[in-house]
A and B are shown apart, each in its own frame.
Chain A
Amino acid sequence: GQQVMQIPQYQHVQEGEDFTTYCNSSTTLSNIQWYKQRPGGHPVFLIQLVKSGEVKKQKRLTFQFGEAKKNSSLHITATQTTDVGTYFCAGSANALNFGKGTSLLVTP
């Protein structure tokens, strides 16, 4: 079945540094979604990418979908303490297959 791998598993940065998490699929994805989960909270939908090579921005967050639609990345510029949480990518079939997530810790 479809496998979605995410790296790194953990990332610890100083506030103001940039952060990137990568998502790779064993199969071509019809679309990919990104979610953020704060500690003790539930996943919250961030964005969906559908087109090959698509790039979308949300303030300091930049999302990319690979040309082959098998990989994606989330880049955060100048991290803030409010960015702390786990970021999940999820590939879409009948239901979303989630990666294991990247946990981001930001120290002031």
Chain B
Amino acid sequence: NAGVTQTPKFQVLKTGQSMTLQCAQDMNHNSMYWYRQDPGMGLRLIYYSASEGTTDKGEVPNGYNVSRLNKREFSLRLESAAPSQTSVYFCAGRTGTLYGYTFGSGTRLTVV
């Protein structure tokens, strides 16, 4: 199915463990984004990639790294997970500034 696909959908980590959240899109999006969503906080931008080969920090980048592997894929890595990183993570993409974002279905991450 066309769209933005995130894996995994659910994950439980122990403090200090590392993991990579995967995001792939087949909608020819130039720009891709990672947001986290916490109760009462709305959606906060972690990192984004305006185009293939570029990445930039968002509002809350600490503790995360990203890789824009190619135009289709944009991964988010937690090197040493902390309980404060318990959240729902959304990947999104868009074709250009005149278009809306298409979001993936999210990854629900719990760090214990």
Residue of B nearest to A97 (CB): B45
Please tell me the number of chain B residues within 8 Å of chain A, measured between CB atoms. Answer: 26
In the complex, the chain B residue whose C-beta lies closest to that of A9 is B40
A98 and B104 alpha carbons, distance in the complex (Å): 16
Q: Mark B19-49, 1 if CB is under 8 A from A, else 0.
A: 0000000000001010100001111110010
Contacts of A99 in B (CB 8 A): 42
A94 touches B42 (CB 8 A): no
A28-68 Cβ-contact flags toward B at 8 Å (1 or 0): 00110101000001111111101000000000000000000
Q: Report the nearest A residue to B97, measured CB to CB.
A: A92
Residues on B with beta carbons closer than 8 Å to the beta carbon of A92: 97
Tell me the number of A-to-B contacts counted with CB atoms below 8 Å.
56
Q: Is B101 an interface residue (CB 8 A)?
A: yes
29 A-B pairs, CB-CB below 8 angstroms?
A: A1-B59, A31-B97, A31-B98, A33-B100, A35-B100, A41-B105, A42-B90, A42-B105, A43-B43, A43-B90, A43-B101, A45-B100, A45-B101, A45-B102, A48-B98, A48-B99, A48-B100, A50-B98, A88-B42, A92-B97, A94-B48, A95-B31, A95-B48, A95-B58, A96-B33, A96-B101, A99-B42, A100-B40, A101-B42
Q: Are B56 and A100 closer than 8 Å at their CB atoms?
A: no
The number of chain A residues with a CB under 8 A from chain B is 26
- Inter-chain CA distance A46–B99, complex, in Å, is 11
Nearest chain A residue, comparing its CB with the CB of B106 = A42
Question: Would you list the 9 A-B pairs with minimal beta carbon distance, nearest first?
Answer: A45-B100, A100-B42, A98-B43, A42-B103, A95-B48, A98-B42, A43-B103, A42-B105, A95-B45
Complex contacts, B78 vs chain A, CB 8 Å: none
A39 to chain B, nearest CB (A): 12
Nearest neighbor of A94 in chain B, beta-carbon distance: B50
Residues of B within 8 A of A42 (CB): 90, 103-106
